Copies of this chain bind each other. A is one copy, B any other.
Amino acid sequence: MGVTIAIDCMGGDHGPVVTVPAALSFLRSHPDANVILVGREEAIQPHLGTAVSEFGTRIRLHPASEVVTMDDPPAIAMRNKKDSSMRVAMDLVKAGEACAAVSAGNTGALMAISRFVLKTLPGVDRPAIATVLPSMKGHTYVLDLGANVDCTAEHLLQFGVMGSSLVAAIEHKERPSVGLLNIGEEAIKGNDVVKEAGELLRASGLNFYGNVEGDDIYEGTVDVVVCDGFVGNVALKTSEGLAQMLGAFLKQEFSRSLLTKLMAVVALPVLKRFKKRVDHRLYNGAPLLGLRGVVLKSHGSADAVAFGNALSRAADAASNRLIERISERMANMNEVKA
């Protein structure tokens, strides 16, 4: 029997217009998988088409009357909206009816609700948000991306363990290399927390590479890059901004005149391949790690392709026993320490 994904259909900038078609494509490309569409029936129904006859019991609608908005403070979303699509999707994971929950909604609320409903795994102080980015050599996984602003060395160590388990599960690499994000100035090699985290990681039994710098993320120096949430968030957003600017500049240069537009037409197949290769939609779906259940955060502005990738990633994580892997590694870690 395949995995079942609980989908918060109401989350994100677009809601069911995006989430429902993505769910249907996902069912088509994953013949073993099932989905539970969570949200307001009247909002979801119009986008189902002939899905019920097509997929039968593989698709099911689970009503939830409320919606967590992007502006809801996490505490309010958690306490006052107990019948939100986000919360109900999480309850389905908790109850064992679904193996994973995917939401494009408010990150803070998603983190608070998943932490409250699912709880953290033994040995994990704080869940983290991870993402995968393209690199010269394949993929690099980076965590944390903003869940944890002030981190201790111990937290960074836990991120290393969780990130390593994630790569083991998703990329089928048994001993992924782990790097600690630091700065390369000759004068000063990181602050005290980072220095201490380096020592903990070195002693951890993980395949610890040592310090890496920002450019190593895209060079693919290591499989997992560990950093605190502030730094990780800045690195990710800066990358998004730079990619957007470069794309806009390239477009501008090709639209400068009739001649350059003709050149663009000639070069189009190459430009398209290039674009496809670095398409950020491929990288949508950031796992929340350290919880007793698989939860993925989709970008709020995700389209159906991007949201579909988050669903596939959730199915991958669940079927490759992500949670069990993290628990085992955390337990081993604590044995080594004890």
Contact = CB atoms under 8 A, between A and B. Distances in A.
Interface of A: 70-71, 73-74, 106-109, 111-112, 134-136, 146-147, 149-150, 181, 183-188, 190-192, 194, 213-219, 227, 229-231, 233-246, 248-250, 253-254, 256, 260, 263-264, 266-267, 269-271, 273-274, 277-278
A216 B233 CA distance: 13
21 contacts: A106-B186, A108-B185, A111-B187, A112-B187, A134-B245, A135-B245, A146-B185, A149-B183, A149-B191, A213-B234, A214-B236, A214-B237, A218-B242, A219-B245, A238-B238, A249-B274, A249-B277, A253-B271, A253-B273, A253-B274, A266-B266
A177 to B, nearest CB: 17
B235 A214 contact: yes
Contacts of A106: 186
A183 B148 CA distance: 11
Contacts of A187: 74, 107-109, 111-112, 147
Nearest to A240: B215
A244 B111 CA distance: 34
A275 to B, nearest CB: 9
A71 B230 CA distance: 30
B217 A238 contact: yes
A267 B269 contact: no
B186 A109 contact: yes
A175 to B, nearest CB: 24
A257 to B, nearest CB: 10
Contacts of A233: 183-185, 213-214
A245 B214 contact: no
Contacts of A227: 234
A181 to B, nearest CB: 6
B188 A214 contact: no
Contacts of A107: 185-187
Contacts of A194: 230
Given A108-B185, A190-B230, A250-B274, A241 B267 contact: no
Contacts of A269: 260, 263
A215 to B, nearest CB: 3
Nearest to A257: B270
Given A108-B188, A188-B108, A241-B214, A234 B134 contact: no
A147 B185 contact: yes
Nearest to A146: B185
Contacts of A219: 241, 244-245
A234 B226 CA distance: 12
A219 B246 CA distance: 11
Given A74-B187, A186-B106, A218 B244 contact: yes
A234 B237 contact: no
A218 B239 CA distance: 9
A260 B273 CA distance: 11
Contact of A146 (B146, B188, B230): B188
A245 B238 CA distance: 15
B266 A270 contact: no
Contacts of A188: 108, 146-147, 149, 229
